[in-house]
Amino acid sequence: MTGIANPVEIYNQLYAKSPDIETFEQAALTDASAATERTPPEDIYAPQAATLVQARPLTELETFYEIKLDSGLELGHEPGQFVEISVPGFGEAPISVSSSPTQRGTFQMVVRNVGNLTNALGKLVAGDRIGVRGPFGSEFPVHDVMKGKDILLICGGIGLVPVRSAINYVLDNREDYGHMTILYGAKTPADRIFADEQQDWSKRDRVSVLETVDDPDEGWQGHVGRITALLPLVLVVPENTIAVVCGPPVMYRFVLEELKKMGMSDDSIYLSLERRMKCGVGKCGHCQMNGVYVCQEGPVFQYSTIREVMEAI
Amino acid sequence: MSTRKLNQEVFGLWVNELIARQRVVGVQAKEERFIFGSLSKAEDLRLDYDVTLLPPKKYLLPQREHLMEFTAQGEYESRIEHEPFILFGVHPYDVIAISQLDAIFSAGQYDVHYMTRRRNATIVACDVQTVSAHVFASSMNTATVQDGFDLLLTKIGDDYLADARTEKGEELLAIVSGGVEPAKEDFAKREEVWRKNRESLRKHDLKCRPEELPALLAKSYDDPIWEEKARHCFSCGSCNLVCPTCYCFDVHDDMNWDLQTGTRTRACDACLLNEFAAVAGGHNFR
Ligand SMILES: Cc1cc2nc3c(=O)[nH]c(=O)nc-3n(C[C@H](O)[C@H](O)[C@H](O)COP(=O)(O)OP(=O)(O)OC[C@H]3O[C@@H](n4cnc5c(N)ncnc54)[C@H](O)[C@@H]3O)c2cc1C
Ligand code: FES
């Protein structure tokens, strides 16, 4: 093994190349004995029981769910946060909450069938029970930064799912925000989600919705092409706008370039990042981008705070 | 807190008495190498070991552990291990590694599975007696240790100095009969062991200070050395498994034969495996 990787030798080689480095302020280790004295609270991995109120297909791959916690309590989430959903026998998966906290009693989500757990979830019907942990993670800044501002939402594919929570929140508190522009891109017309709701949103006061698809079918009359092609069509006052980007990993770099060209500053752009997640509570390591735990500090990040983080975008 | 000097005979009696009272996990020989394992008698204890095949981590964060049981109806019940045990003969660098795991599992969200096991563990540390072929502990400032354990054993001549540093350590020491109050020279001998260990546990000499490593690594992200080393790597993840500080895990469900109940298990995972960070749609951020 030492032939493959002798850490000291590697460090020495690196150090020889950059001998002048600053020292990091090392966080002090928590004293083991202090940690051992704390009385144990509840198990952070234990889901609470919940029941599906509604399960209906949205597209060939995606299903819409409405869920009620058996405890009768509210989920208590903020727009942009996610939950860990358990299907007994199939494990757990992080899923965004799609409904606004202004909707009481139940919460909603949309799940794309991609594997083990999501497939099992797809077979469940109203009345079936699942486990729920959370809510976890950071939120879209609806309570502060976005207030009084114009809002530009750029969503690719099921990226619309978490952003829908913010959209409905803004619509339920309409007077607190400026103009809201929703850009949505899907692969094909058949992949579009929440098409009816988009219609409804576009009829609301100071809201515009623009849609595009990559591959149109015969009946499609709207825009064709990448979501970046929609950006030049919207009028943005950069100083007064907060942008939110959520979509497949490949989308971010292109959208960020366009936003920069439009004069948007990095601190007025918020990104919701997807990562492999398991625990949702900063323990399992799966979601780490170097020092950043996406499940804790994200999934919603102000772009300026992660611009320099390797592997982020 | 008290310190006692134990001769070989007293030491053996004490260890056997501990084994009679609770589970003791200690270092033993396995063919030519050494392992941590359940101890059945004092004679099997090998505190003269150089290094163990696996770190003691597996007794605090087992390779597989049941987190909870569930029913098909969506009821989940946590399963938490409560058995007290003694981890006997932990070298200083492994004590420091355990302190790091403690920080990870207790900070922020409190991991009750790990922390209950940790609270039930009494750690008997032991200063290194045999220098291993590739040790670099001293380069990392981990050749000796002053906290993060309950009791410290140091071999001075033919005797052991047993130094209790916590209530739990004190309780173990209270069981000894026949130990004596150490003399000033005994403490001086221990100082000498520490000094020698700091000097000799350094088969590989680090040219910078360990505090500089995080910055050095951050700066060297694109260095060609990583590609070069990766060419020799089998991508097996073993390094994560044997690392005393790696803690990443995966969680999965197993249904029982009745198809009505099942178990949720967490198992050690490895960030160097290809699938570790992959997400749906075939994207991998690494
Ligand atoms: C914060 C967050 C919010 C999410 N919100 C939604 C949502 O609203 N709707 C939705 O449909 N999906 C969402 N996802 C993705 C979803 O978690 C994964 O698709 C799901 O975990 C796959 O589980 P599986 O058992 O069905 O797949 P598996 O059978 O485990 O694997 C199938 C594929 O999914 C990938 N995958 C597995 N586990 C994860 C994981 N934990 N995170 C990401 N990819 C994974 C694998 O690499 C593989 O390519 C979200 C992910 C994150 C991190
Ligand atoms: S999902 Fe486990 S650490 Fe973030």
Q: Do B219 and A36 touch (CB under 8 A)?
A: no
B100 and A CB contact within 8 Å: yes
Cα separation of A238 and A264, whole Å? 5
Residues A55-90 have pLDDT tens digits of 999 999 999 999 999 999 999 999 999 999 999 999
Q: Whole-model pTM? A: 0.91
Q: Domains in chain A, start-ordered, CATH in brackets?
A: 7-136 (2.40.30.10), 150-306 (3.40.50.80)
Residue B181 has pLDDT above 60, yes or no: yes
Distance A93 CA to ligand 1 centre (A): 6
Phi-psi sector, A198: left (phi>0), alpha (psi -120 to 50), beta: alpha
pLDDT tier at A36 (50, 70, 90 boundaries)? very low
Of the partner residues B71, B115, B213, the one whose CB lies closest to the CB of residue A88: B71
Of the partner residues A8, A23, A112, the one whose CB lies closest to the CB of residue B215: A23
Provide the mean pLDDT of chain B. 93
Task: Using CA coordinates, name the residue in chain B closest to A28.
Answer: B103
How confident is the model at residue A290, as a pLDDT? 79
Of the partner residues A18, A91, A283, the one whose CB lies closest to the CB of residue B219: A18
Q: Which residues lie closer than 8 Å to A265 by C-beta, 6 or more apart? A: A238, A304
Q: Which of A142-156, A284-298, B2-16, B32-46 has the lowest mean pLDDT?
A: A284-298
A-B contacts (CB, under 8 Å): 218
How confident is the model at residue A4, as a pLDDT? 62
How confident is the model at residue A149, as a pLDDT? 95
Residues B125-165 have pLDDT tens digits of 999 999 999 999 999 999 999 999 999 999 999 999 999 99
Provide the mean pLDDT of chain A. 90
**Residue A128 Cα distances to A46, A52, A67, B13, angstroms:** 19, 6, 10, 60
Q: Do A248 and B99 touch (CB under 8 A)?
A: no
Residues B238-277 have pLDDT tens digits of 888 899 999 999 999 999 999 999 999 999 998 888 888 8
Cα separation of B147 and B12, whole Å? 25
Which position has the higher pLDDT, B255 or A24? B255
Q: What share of chain B is helix, strand, coil (3-state, %, to 5)?
A: 35, 25, 40
B182 and A CB contact within 8 Å: no
Cα separation of A184 and A205, whole Å? 19
Q: Do B229 and A275 touch (CB under 8 A)?
A: no
Residues A160-216 have pLDDT tens digits of 999 999 999 999 999 999 999 999 999 999 999 999 999 999 999 999 999 999 999
Q: Do A21 and B108 touch (CB under 8 A)?
A: no
Task: Using CA coordinates, name the residue in chain B closest to A131.
Answer: B74
Residues A236-284 have pLDDT tens digits of 999 999 999 999 888 999 999 999 999 999 999 999 998 889 999 999 9
For residue A115, list chain B residues with Cβ-Cβ distance below 8 A: 280
Residue A45 contacts residue A92 (beta carbons within 8 Å): no
